Amino acid sequence: MTPRKFLLTATSALALAFAGTAQAETFRLGTNGDLYGLDPHSMTDSFTVSFLNHVYEALVRYDADLKIEPALATRWEHIDETTVRYHLREGIKFHDGQDLTAEDVVASVNRAAHEDSPIRGNIAGLVGAEMVDDMTVDLLLDGPNPLLNNFLTNILIFDRGWLEEHDALEPIDAQKGEEGYTTSHANGTGPFRFESRTPDAQTVLTVNEGWWDEAQHNITRIELNPINSDATRVAAMLSGELDMIVPSPLQDAKRIESAEGMHVLEAPGLRAIMMGFNLSDTLNNANTEGNPLQKVEVRQALVHAISYDLLRDKIMRGKSRNLGTLVAPQVPGFDAEVDTIPAYDPELAKQMLADAGYPDGFSFNMNCPNDRYVNDAAICQALAAMFARVGVKVELTAETKAIHFERARANETDMFMLGWATLPMLDGYSVLSAMLHTPGGQMGTWNPGGYSNAELDRLTQAVATELDADKRLEMMVEAFAIAKNEVAWLPLHAQPLSWAARDGVSIPQTADDKPRLWLARID
Amino acid sequence: MFAFLIRRIIQAALVMLVVASIAFLMFRFLGDPISNLLPEDATVEDRAEMREKLGLNDPFLTQYGRFIVDAAQGDFGQSYRNNRPVSDLLAERFPATAELVLVAASLALALGIPLGIYTALNPRGWISQGLQVVSLLGISVPTFVTGILLILLFSVSLGWLPSFGRGTVVDLGGWTTGFLTLSGLKALILPSIMLALFQMTLIMRLVRAEMLEVLRADYIKFARARGIPNQILHFKYALKNTLIPVMTIFGLQLGGLIAFAIITETVFQWPGMGFLFIQAVNFSDVPVMAAYLVLVSFLFVVINTIVDLLYHVVDPRLRVEKSTARGV
């Protein structure tokens, strides 16, 4: 080999080596909060569970259009009203090399449905699972359940042998006094393997070469960096330390867009922001006898007092989507006709208030969180000003979410703010059962104001068990129309999603605000 | 000295009991942890069950008694949010905060004292005047603003230093340190400057004021009249007396550094105890908050005790007085 030739070979080898490292694509994600732990059965935090979807998988999953598609199960069929049979995909291996079998699914489903399981509430109606043969599982229900697959997207599957080996077959109980093995270790079937984790600092995943699905992504490593401070997260993005941030603060969108090589990803999200009314016989803090809010005319007058466009353009910087119904367009149950926004007409509002017996208006207390939704307290301030224009005086209390929701739930407020994304079920039934049904038992858990309508209750119960998708949808639309006419809640807008990424990152932005990195590509 | 120590320990125990009680009482009003622990549409029964599990349904005094008894044994229970023992969480986070505070404190002392001496000895020099103005800024600009400005300058514009986190840390069997890696050291720079800035300016101004005061004292004038060289006058006679009040303040401020670290840690996503505390506040994670408060007050008490002991070392008069004046 001549020296010259040697040099050539050496440089090309060097070039190859560099090309090799360039292909090791690390995706550095910045988020505004950390995982609660690594056990997807130990908490219901939707960010944590969605991130754990990179490591663990479920029988079915949402695709980029939020439609349900097969994952660990290839197909399913209804055996009878209370049994659904799932056929598992062949040849799937856990990260530790074990094969996926029906045994694993049975152990995982029973773990999730265990009476101590913190996520039991997410799988209402699921009694348990039974093995049919090695690759077939029956899920047992307490009645027909049209939302079973929606729930299952969130029930991630563990390896039974691994759980057993580490004494983790039963769910982690917060008060047991001992830390669960699954909180800090993971073994799933997903596109990425768990590598390391330092709470509040960094969680690292590496690619699972043996993933059963055809990889759409070209990522070999994921670094999750929680950065709670908005300003720091944006700065880290701008300084090139991150590839993407979720969420990206609305007020920084312009700054990021104007930075070289960065862009903002924006879309209306699933979360509907709304105001709830105290509909009991007396208000907590008002200058009138009885409760003016009980009268439909008064609630309708308040709707006419709100300038939706002003809220959207000034408070939400033009990013939100005005909402006349209680669910966002992506959620089954949404209907364009129900969604119409009532006209802004303060004169009409005043007239309606006068007709209802309050020509001089009245006053009450409004409560708002100031650390939960995008610009939550600012929205309430604007609402208070708009109500004041029609003579309704509002005393505004903005406070931290822990206190706000506790008070709202106890009906200690006259009007309060709530945002509802219908997750994890992603269906209008979530709103019907929790917020519109008369409170009692499993129903109306988020209906502290006490709204009650017999027809709505009937529809809600019918929707719960109707397996015919079209009929079901029709009933939901009808129910939401009733809620709208009666102003059971006062919907404001669908909260916008905002992510920011450097150029060269491509990822589908789904309305549920969950980054699915197995669908992302970077260069 | 021994009796003095015993007295201090008893005092400290009382202080701790009061702090623990206040912590416990205060956090009862912070909101319901349940709403953060359960999904939006959890049922009423789920909620009731969770309250029962967490012991929130017990009478107030039972909860309080349980808290004090457990806390005395160093057991602060389980974090609601992390499903882990609070003492483990704090132990895990302590190194991060300790290293940050250590670097910040050293920085504040190493720069503050010399600068203070310099400005006192050259009160009319333009460098001194400049330092005075800059130090005013250091005291009056809120620390989070300084932090963000540092990030904008050194991370975003210049790209020299990381804007968040601790970098790569080395685990020395229970103590994670950022001192042993380049990225760990780089990550320490901005947060420790942010944390040190206020203390540094404070020490500088304090040293300057004290030193000017001491230099006007009669014994310095007489010493000067006797022809003792300036070098000895300034650094042997004046400085020693200057440092007593500085030590007191610095001792108190060291506790302040740990407490202030909350803001620095939030800005820089520094995985220390202060950050753990802020997270706990967001989730009404009472066991973590209470434990943090107790721990920080414990550190305050320990530091103050050490400062008191140091007086005895520096100031010979106190050694004589202690036999007559009880209850220092």
Best of B27, B75, B83 to disrupt the A interface by mutation (most A CBs within 10 Å)? B83
User: Please, are residues B206 and B245 in contact by the beta-carbon 8 Å criterion?
Assistant: yes
Q: Two tokens at A382? A: 């604007």
What residues in A contact B36, CB-CB < 8 Å? 401-402
Task: Give the pLDDT of residue A516.
Answer: 94
User: What burial class does residue A316 get, using C-beta atoms within 10 Å of its C-beta: 0-12 exposed, 13-18 middle, 19+ buried?
Assistant: buried
CB contact under 8 A, B38 and A198: no
pTM for this predicted structure: 0.83
Task: Give the pLDDT of residue A26.
Answer: 94
Q: By CA distance, what is A174's nearest residue in B? A: B83
Asked if pLDDT for residue A20 goes beyond 60, the answer is no
User: Please, are residues A424 and A433 in contact by the beta-carbon 8 Å criterion?
Assistant: no
- Give just the sign of the alpha carbon dihedral A502, A506, A507, A508: positive
Best of B37, B41, B88 to disrupt the A interface by mutation (most A CBs within 10 Å)? B41
What residues in A contact B43, CB-CB < 8 Å? 121, 441-442, 445
Ordered DSSP codes for A24-65: S-EEEEEESS--S-S-TTS---HHHHHHHTTT---SEEE-TT
**Mean pLDDT confidence for A178-197:** 89
All residues at 6 or more sequence positions from A501 whose CB lies less than 8 Å from its CB, including other chains: A243, A244, A245, A262, A263, A265, A507
CB contact under 8 A, A235 and B88: no
- The helix/strand/coil state of B144 is helix
CB contact under 8 A, B92 and A231: no
pLDDT tens digits, residue range A396-423? 999 888 788 888 988 999 999 999 988 8
CB contact under 8 A, A236 and B82: no
Best of A420, A445, A512 to disrupt the B interface by mutation (most B CBs within 10 Å)? A445
- Give the whole-number percent of chain A exceeding pLDDT 90: 69
User: What burial class does residue A455 get, using C-beta atoms within 10 Å of its C-beta: 0-12 exposed, 13-18 middle, 19+ buried?
Assistant: exposed
Q: Two tokens at A87? A: 């056929």
Q: By CA distance, what is B28's nearest residue in A? A: A403
What residues in A contact B57, CB-CB < 8 Å? none
Which domains does chain A show, CATH number per domain? 26-261+503-522 (3.40.190.10), 270-495 (3.10.105.10)
CB contact under 8 A, B148 and A235: yes
pLDDT tens digits, residue range A354-397? 999 999 889 999 999 988 898 999 999 999 999 999 999 999 99
Task: Give the Å distances, CA to CA, from A423 to A112, A145, A159, A241, B225.
Answer: 17, 17, 26, 31, 83
What residues in A contact B33, CB-CB < 8 Å? 402
Task: Give how far B323 is from chain A: nearest CA, Å.
Answer: 50
**Which of A121, A198, A402 comes nearest B39 by C-beta?**
A121
Task: Give the pLDDT of residue A173.
Answer: 62
What residues in B contact A198, CB-CB < 8 Å? 169, 271
Asked if pLDDT for residue A64 goes beyond 90, the answer is no
pLDDT one digit per residue (tens) for chain B, 328 residues: 677 778 878 888 888 888 888 877 776 666 666 766 666 666 677 777 777 777 777 777 888 888 788 877 877 777 777 777 888 888 888 999 999 999 999 999 999 888 988 888 888 888 888 888 888 887 888 888 888 899 989 999 898 999 998 888 888 887 888 888 888 899 999 999 999 888 888 888 888 888 888 888 888 888 888 888 877 777 777 777 788 788 778 887 888 888 888 999 999 999 999 999 988 887 778 788 888 888 888 888 888 878 777 777 766 666 654 444 444 3
Range(s) within chain B of domains with CATH label 1.10.3720.10: 92-279
Best of A115, A232, A234, A436 to disrupt the B interface by mutation (most B CBs within 10 Å)? A232
What residues in A contact B156, CB-CB < 8 Å? 235, 238-239
Phi, psi at A364, each rounded to 5°: -155, 180
CB contact under 8 A, A225 and B164: yes
Task: Give the Å distances, CA to CA, from B39 to A154, A434, B42.
Answer: 13, 11, 5
Task: Give the Å distances, CA to CA, from A96 to A92, A99, A158, A196, B145.
Answer: 12, 9, 11, 15, 48
What residues in A contact B282, CB-CB < 8 Å? 371, 400, 402
CB contact under 8 A, B164 and A239: no
Ordered DSSP codes for A267-298: EEEEEEEEEEE--SSS-SS-SSSS-GGGSHHH
Q: By CA distance, what is B155's nearest residue in A? A: A239
Residue A468 CA to residue A466 CA, distance in Å, equals 6
Task: Give the pLDDT of residue B1.
Answer: 64
Residue B311 CA to residue B320 CA, distance in Å, equals 12
Closest by CA to B277, choosing from B268, B264, B290, A36, is B290
Count interface pairs A-B at CB distance under 8 A.
Answer: 148
Task: Give the pLDDT of residue B37.
Answer: 65
pLDDT tens digits, residue range A274-292? 999 999 998 888 888 889 9
Name the CATH superfamily housing domain B92-279: MetI-like (1.10.3720.10)
What residues in A contact B178, CB-CB < 8 Å? none
